[in-house]
Amino acid sequence: MKIADVRAKAFAMPLNNPAYPKPPYKFYNREFFVITYRTDPERLRAVVPEPLEVVGDTVSYEFIRMPDSTGFGDYTETGQVIPVRFTTPSGEVQEGGYVHAMYLDDNSPIAGGREIWGFPKKLATPKLRHEQETLVGTLHYGSVLCVTATMGYKHRALDLAPVAKAMARPAFMIKIIPHVDCTPRICELVRYYTEDVTLKGAWEGPGALQLFEHAMCDVAHLPVRDIVRATHYIADLTLGLGEVVYDYLADGSPRS
């Protein structure tokens, strides 16, 4: 293979059989189960990186069931998103979510999510299922139970407008790619949006959440103090590509 061929083909690893196709990635009937809870604000400030600012003392613990995803197939994901504020160089203040942790059961979105956007994805076994009148989410890391979440199924329908507005907010994460000597080659704050959202329904109900200690799955580092709200919604959407808004290796230079 010629050098020019390598350059032309290089998109993802492995070179001759990439782990995932090129975007865009579209999701149909994506099911969200989100429990918002209060936690230790000092611990929030310790894990959210500048220039992001923590907003309040809450965390959104999310289970996401994706039965039909272009390029990625059928999989389930779970993790923690922290409400944050970001001020652009122009002075615009954006409120969104910092993606703190993600656990899922499918190799392609793990590889693609980490390499393209910088999603903090790790391999685990999340489940989201309906058990009679209850929506149930669990996360096992190996054989160990790390999360149990429950919610009354579709107790009250929600106005779709506020849910759609929340889904339109940006999300942020840290993309880290090491050099071959293990020094950071890329260390960037990335922002992305969901696009082409069609919200099909949204509900709320009573919710409960338990997080269990695990050395390699540290969801319990942000402990549950009080449940604020449990919501459940279904949507079609496209995962928008990211943009770098802060480069930690370029003298702290913001990008946009």
Do 126 and 65 contact (CB within 8 A), yes or no?
A: no
Residues above pLDDT 70, as percent of the chain: 98
Q: Summarize the confidence of residues 161-179 as an average pLDDT.
A: 97
Q: pLDDT tier at 252 (50, 70, 90 boundaries)?
A: low
Task: For residues 41 and 240, give the distance between their C-alpha atoms in angstroms, rounded to a whole number.
Answer: 30
The pTM of this model reads: 0.95
pLDDT, position 4: 95
pLDDT tens-digit readout, 53-74: 999 999 999 999 999 999 999 9
Q: Which residues contact 91 (CB under 8 A, 6 or more apart)?
A: none
Q: Which domains does the chain have, with CATH numbers?
A: 21-247 (2.40.400.10)
Given a contact cutoff of 8 angstroms between Cβ atoms, the answer to whether 129 and 31 are in contact is: no
pLDDT given for residue 137 in this prediction: 98
Residue with the two structure tokens 């696009």:
195
Active site residues: 121
Q: What is the pLDDT of residue 229?
A: 98
Average pLDDT over residues 37-56: 97
SS3 category, 51:
coil
pLDDT score of 34 more than 80:
yes
Alpha carbons 234 and 151: distance in angstroms, whole number: 15
Q: Please report where in the chains the tokens 């409120």 appear, as a residue.
A: 95
Gyration radius from the chain CA atoms: 19
Closest CA relative to residue 147, chosen from 29, 27, 34:
34
CB count in 10 Å sphere of residue 11: 12
Residue 256, pLDDT > 60, answer no
Q: What is the mean pLDDT of the chain?
A: 96
d(CA 50, CA 207): 32
Which helix or strand (DSSP H or E) is residue 69 part of?
strand 58-69
Summarize pLDDT for 193-246 with one digit per residue, the tens. 999 999 999 999 999 999 999 999 999 999 999 999 999 999 999 999 999 999
**Which pLDDT value is given to residue 83?**
98
Task: Provide the β-strand partners of residue 95.
Answer: 85
pLDDT band (50, 70, 90) for residue 255: low
Q: Which two tokens stand for residue 35?
A: 């429990």
- The number of residues making up the chain comes to 256
